[in-house]
Structure 1
Amino acid sequence: MVRVLGIDHLAIRVSNLKRSKEFYDRLLGFMGFELEWEFGQTLGWDNGRTMYWITEADRKGKQHKHRTGDVGFHHYAFEVSRPGDVDKVHALLVEMGATIIDAPADYPDYGEGYRAVYFLDPDGLKLEVMYFLEKRKRLRGKR
């Protein structure tokens, strides 16, 4: 059997590299990522466990904006280590003028101690910052 260690990276296409670089550099930098890779139309941030890559869409790709509900990317969730971190990221997003879909809230239907904020990147891609106590407890029990 092959054991997956985690998700190494996510790579997305953006419509405006400069605008998205500013958004992600501020957001990801706030969450402990560093811009590690920059070549051509591709940028990659790394936090030592996960990388987040953006690259500019080609001319044809820019003609088709992302639409929630299409086949493909639904959302990406960044897990944080404390529930209060969800609120800290929300405050930054508000300061940045980001589109907030759902302000920080607890989601007991998702499991014990699930807290999250949902928002959009400049191209309308849905992102989440979340904390999940139940998952942390399960992982501690496996040690």
Structure 2
Amino acid sequence: MPSRVVGIDHLVIRVSDFAKSKAFYGALFDFLGFKVLDEYTGMIGWTNGKTRYWISEAKSGARKFREGDVGFHHYAFQLRSRKDVDALGAFLEKKKAEIVDPPDEYYEDYYAVFFRDPDGLKLEGMRYGEMTEKKKRARQRKAKK
């Protein structure tokens, strides 16, 4: 029987300026409720008990990320609610992070904010299905009456 994936354990990205990225991600992950998992020379990881995200110092001379190249497109953090997406958007504004697309509905019942890290990697905070779930609960309450 083949192995079955039960989740994604962690993501590791390389960064051009470790100190700058550590400060950016440290503030972001503190806001999102993550704690430092471990830290080594030129590498640090955070976790919320389910998701692990690591940054690692790139080799000197490494070129910056360019959108459209083969590789990383974006990473999405699933949030609890649309209010959490709005709160993340306000946090990013306060931190003067580059917001690519502000909190809004981008697809049916898909509410998100898109932003960049110091190297230009695209990140997202999103909530999918909240309105559908509310409608379903309302129908269930109505059916019980």
TM bin (shorter chain): 0.7 to 0.9
What is the TM-score normalised by the length of structure 2? Answer: 0.86
Query: Identity over the aligned pairs, expressed in percent?
Result: 50
Q: CA deviation at 1:23?
A: 0.4
* Unaligned stretches of 5+ residues in structure 1: 138-143
Instruction: Write out aligned runs for 1:1-143 (5 A).
Output: 1-61=2-62, 64-108=63-107, 111=108, 113-133=109-129
TM-superposed deviation, 1:5? 1.4
The ranges of structure 1 where at least 4 consecutive aligned residues each deviate by more than 3 angstroms after the TM superposition are none
Secondary structure of the 2:88 match is helix
Residue 77 of structure 2: SS of its match in structure 1?
strand
| Structure ID, larger Rg | 2
Structure 2 unmatched ranges of 5 or more = 134-145
1:25-77 alpha-carbon deviations (Å, 9 max, x no partner): 1101111110121011110001100100000101132xx11000000000000
Q: Secondary structure at the match of 1:84?
A: helix
Count matched residues. 131
User: 2:138 maps to which residue?
Assistant: none
Cα RMSD of the aligned pairs, angstroms, is 1.4
CA distance in 2, matches of 1:78, 1:58: 27
TM-score (norm 1): 0.87
